[in-house]
């Protein structure tokens, strides 16, 4: 169990610090890491970074600063209780009101929720490979519930660009809680070239 806690803590640090992904895994901040997002053409969505979804005054690890995983073994009831508390805090992660209502473009990884023969009807967009699938979900303000304008022909963990108007709509799915939603989203295959 302490491995789950360690994975969750690592995920929070990746999401909040913009750490680089493992070799061979596309960056969650393609062509934007370390640089300011490009200015959008008038009327076009503004390319944003995942960090912009987190309010500046919110720290995902605030309640867990003195966490000592070395003293916890798998199956330890204290580890289970800590993991449950972490999920409660992260599932209630606040949205950033400064970005809500903006037309944005954001890169990320696909976590399918509902499929049809034509493609994905809804999915979660997450900032790093394996989120919600191989590790505990990131904080809710690092998950965007996407409802594409047209079914999207992508599969789990494909990298995509999603564009649309960002809304604060809390969602709770079997794959994780989300603080944001984009309805009628444009979805295109990820490329490293920023617009």
Alpha-carbon span 3 to 122, nearest angstrom: 30
State pTM to two decimals. Answer: 0.78
Alpha-carbon span 130 to 150, nearest angstrom: 25
pLDDT digits (tens, 9 = 90+) for 70-106: 777 878 888 888 888 888 999 999 999 999 999 999 9
Helix axes of 2-17 and 77-91: crossing angle, nearest 10 degrees:
30
Q: What pLDDT is stored for residue 33 in this prediction?
A: 36
pLDDT digits (tens, 9 = 90+) for 139-173: 999 999 999 999 999 999 999 999 999 999 999 99
Q: 186: how many CB neighbours lie within 10 A of its CB? A: 17
Question: Residue 85 maps to which CATH number?
Answer: 2.40.50.870
Helix runs in the chain, H state only:
2-17, 77-91
Residue 77 CA, distance from chain mean position: 28
pLDDT digits (tens, 9 = 90+) for 98-142: 999 999 999 999 999 999 999 999 999 999 998 887 778 899 999
- 21 pLDDT more than 80: no
In a domain, 195, yes or no: no
Closest by Cα among 130, 123, 184, 170 to 10: 130
Q: 157: how many CB neighbours lie within 10 A of its CB? A: 17
How does strand 119-126 pair with strand 103-116?
Answer: antiparallel
Give the structural domain span for 127. 2-189
In a domain, 65, yes or no: yes
- Are residues 143 and 176 in contact, defined by beta-carbon separation less than 8 angstroms? yes
- Collapsing DSSP states into helix, strand and coil, what is residue 180? strand
Q: How many domains does the chain divide into?
A: 1
In a domain, 164, yes or no: yes
Give 165's strand partners: 103
Q: What pLDDT is stored for residue 9 in this prediction?
A: 52
DSSP structure class, residue 131? B
């Amino acid at each position: 169990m302490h491995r789950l806690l360690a994975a969750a803590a690592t995920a929070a640090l990746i999401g909040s610090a913009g750490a680089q992904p493992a070799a061979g895994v596309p960056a969650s901040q393609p062509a934007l890491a370390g640089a300011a997002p490009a200015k959008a053409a008038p009327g076009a969505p503004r390319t944003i970074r995942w960090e912009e979804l987190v309010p500046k005054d919110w720290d995902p690890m605030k309640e867990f600063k003195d966490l000592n995983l070395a003293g916890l073994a798998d199956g330890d009831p204290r580890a289970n209780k800590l993991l449950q508390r972490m999920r409660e805090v992260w599932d209630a992660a606040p949205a950033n009101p400064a970005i809500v209502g903006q037309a944005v473009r954001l890169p990320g990884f696909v976590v399918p929720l509902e499929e049809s023969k034509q493609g994905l009807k809804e999915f979660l967009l997450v900032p790093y490979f394996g989120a919600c699938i191989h590790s505990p979900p990131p904080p809710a303000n690092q998950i965007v519930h996407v409802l594409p304008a047209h079914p999207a022909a992508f599969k789990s963990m494909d990298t995509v660009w999603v564009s649309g108007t960002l809304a604060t709509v809390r969602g709770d799915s079997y794959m994780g809680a989300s603080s944001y939603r984009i309805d009628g989203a444009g979805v295109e295959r990820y490329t490293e070239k920023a617009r």
